[in-house]
Chains A and B, each alone.
Chain A
Amino acid sequence: MTVESTAARKPRRSAGTKRTAAKKSPGARPDLVQLLTPEGKRVKNGEYDAYVADITPEELRGLYRDMVLTRRFDAEATSLQRQGELGLWASLLGQEAAQIGSGRATREDDYVFPTYREHGVAWCRGVDPANLLGMFRGVNNGGWDPNSNNFHLYTIVIGSQTLHATGYAMGVAKDGADSAVIAYFGDGASSQGDVAESFTFSAVYNAPVVFFCQNNQWAISEPTERQTRVPLYQRAQGYGFPGVRVDGNDVLACLAVTKWALERARRGEGPTLVEAYTYRMGAHTTSDDPTKYRADEEREAWEAKDPIQRLRTYLEASNHADEGFFAELEAESEALGKRVREVVRAMPDPDRFAIFENAYADGHALVDEERAQFAAYQASFADEGEGIQR
């Protein structure tokens, strides 16, 4: 157990009264759903095994491939940021199993509401990874049509999207459709009023939504203990829907639990909170410095639970994958890295008139006036070779 910060361990004083520190969050405890141990051993779970009982070796290799390629994409983006090609990057390193497991549990007609770190979920939804980079490069504030993959735009304002997911799910229910909705957020986000309100609404209206909280132990420099004094999944109980904690570094368990939750939603049984207990191995974003607030040993302890290595061990031990598979995947991974690099470098800056585009759907006289003034101003430079493209 390594997630405690000194801040949480020290007693807090208030008006001279000693208060006890928050209890340690549990690590591997009975309430943590696990199907694959950190050593890569398959373990039984009476409740959730059924959801992955018919999984084929090919599908297992598929999950592995997804995780490897997602990690590769993420690493490429991190180095592109270092090279000045991206303004910022939020790495998912360490969270591949939580994202691929839950992402692969969704059906095509389900709808996903991500935060800003769900690159693996985007991958599962078929969003071109290159599309994820525009916003971080600073060429757009979104970058894809949410409806083409039922994958909503990344959300920067913490927690906001959980309400959108709930409302969308309320709409799904009204329409009598049997699809489900899944909202991603972090342990830090659990403190936001919007998240509490989404729990209230989804419970009251029995909305078919799964709240998928990736508890990666940190909200920038704040440990989970700074957000809550009870394990997060237990919050659900107070709202009247089930909460379950799953080993977020176990892709099989994440797949099984999310399937279970989505099926509940489809059957009209309402919301579920899934807390994927995992770890953010890198910095919060490329502008963060985790050495200011957390110890190296903590990361090292979590590295031993690496989601990718865990599945690899299992694939090898059960003869579900051979050398050839891993070699081929390595080559595919290289190719993905190369493609991402090329696409980013070739990504053009937006036309300057894009400032005014899509401010309104039906147009707006003031925007038209300002666009015209902008054009006239730009044109005043034309003789200096600064011509405008329009």
Chain B
Amino acid sequence: MTAEKMALAKAINESLRTALDADPKVLIMGEDVGKLGGVFRVTDGLQKDFGEDRVIDTPLAESGIVGTAIGLALRGYRPVVEIQFDGFVFPAYDQIVTQLAKMHARALGKIKLPVVIRIPYGGGIGAVEHHSESPEALFAHVAGLKVVSPSNAGDAYWMMQQAIHSDDPVIFFEPKRRYWDKSEVNREAIPSPLHKARVVREGTDLTLAAYGPMVKVCQEAAAAAQEEGKSLEVLDLRSMSPIDFDAVQASVEKTRRLVVVHEAPVFLGTGAEIAARITERSFYHLEAPVLRVGGYHAPYPPARLEDEYLPGLDRVLDAVDRSLAY
């Protein structure tokens, strides 16, 4: 078996299955992950095959889920916990930020916290409030955590394997509106490192840097720009902590222009960090200021307005035009 096409959600399911199979210390924990297979069916069938001891339906308590996962990790397990939706991670934020992130350092490096926290995140599915948010910057800001997000099934499969093997806590943001998008998964490939960015489309005039759900939007924008004779490079960052600044720098020094795109609010977001670093690293290569496209400094709006809030083709291309106009 080499490459097969599958949906992103299915790829994560397969990846979890592989990990459960390979290592008896791997555990899946969360609300509704068992019989129901999770509200997005990402853990579908796993409890049936691995039992209630390995795929654990938890009480409805996020702080409890993460707090006990920390204890299990201290005891040698490798818990992979599911937070049902982005907006529900906050009851667990205390455990993640004050405990999970800092314990390794406090223990002089003597203990490891191989905990993966899976969070379906982002908008575009017409949900009610607290079901569409992109809180990745809040986690990337905290030292001790690693933060990643795949944009396609192939990456999702491998990145989940790597996250589970990581001895550091990994916050694994799953782009929920891409769960049903299919792409190739090659289980025999040699995957690229977890925190390495990847050029998903080559170009010469400008770099679009994105991750998770926005990679597809940027690819579509690049395809549209091509018709107007503009050659855009698209970079899938894949990791928000650490960020592969070398890859961004290399691309920018080729194209001389950079637009960072994410769903999260622009203010103090991932794009702000990239803009600052790239300005420091590549000031003399830049033909235009680094621009950012993202959410506003306002609560995530009700579903009927989310298309206005979320970056779409037009907003990305508008930023491209502004950059090229310098």
Contact = CB atoms under 8 A, between A and B. Distances in A.
B160 to A, nearest CB: 23
Closest 10 CB pairs of A and B: A138-B303, A221-B36, A191-B59, A188-B60, A191-B61, A293-B35, A359-B298, A138-B304, A349-B304, A191-B60
Contacts of B126: 87, 138
Interface in B1-60: 31-32, 34-37, 39, 52-53, 57-60
B302 interface: yes
Interface string A201-217: 00000000000000000
Q: In terms of DSSP, what is the predominant structure of the interface of chain B?
A: loop
A50 interface: no
B180 interface: no
A355 interface: yes
B305 interface: yes
27 contacts: A5-B35, A7-B34, A7-B52, A7-B57, A10-B52, A12-B52, A13-B53, A135-B129, A138-B128, A138-B304, A156-B128, A157-B91, A157-B130, A191-B59, A192-B61, A219-B31, A220-B36, A222-B60, A226-B57, A293-B36, A350-B302, A352-B305, A354-B305, A355-B301, A355-B309, A359-B299, A367-B296
Contact of B298 (A192, A220, A367, A380): A367
A221 B298 contact: no
A292 B35 CA distance: 7
A157 B87 contact: yes
Contacts of A293: 35-36
Nearest to A368: B297
Interface of B: 31-32, 34-37, 39, 52-53, 57-61, 63-64, 87-88, 90-91, 126-131, 267, 296-299, 301-305, 308-309, 315, 318
Given A12-B52, A221-B57, A359-B297, A193 B305 contact: no
Given A138-B304, A141-B302, A380-B318, A193 B296 contact: no
A137 interface: yes
A329 interface: no
Query: Chain A contact residues (Cβ within 8 angstroms of B): what range?
Result: 35 or more
Contacts of B129: 135, 141, 156
A325 interface: no
A196 to B, nearest CB: 9
A172 B298 CA distance: 32
Contacts of A194: 91
A321 interface: no
Contact of B87 (A12, A156, A226): A156
Contact of B301 (A87, A287, A354): A354
A377 B315 CA distance: 8
A364 B265 CA distance: 15
Interface of A: 5, 7, 10, 12-14, 87-88, 134-141, 156-159, 188-189, 191-194, 219-222, 226-227, 287-289, 292-293, 349-350, 352, 354-356, 359, 364, 366-367, 370, 374, 377, 380
B31 A7 contact: no
Given A221-B32, A292-B36, A140 B60 contact: no
Contacts of B302: 134-135, 138-141, 350
A78 to B, nearest CB: 16
A140 B57 CA distance: 33
Nearest to A137: B304
Contacts of B88: 157-158
Contacts of A220: 31-32, 36, 39
Given A158-B60, A374-B296, A221 B34 contact: yes
A374 B295 CA distance: 11
Given A138-B126, A222-B31, A359-B298, A350 B305 contact: yes
Contact of A192 (B37, B91, B309): B91
Contacts of A140: 302
Contacts of B90: 157
Contacts of B31: 219-220, 222
A162 to B, nearest CB: 13
A152 to B, nearest CB: 15
A88 B304 contact: no
A219 B35 contact: no
Nearest to B297: A366
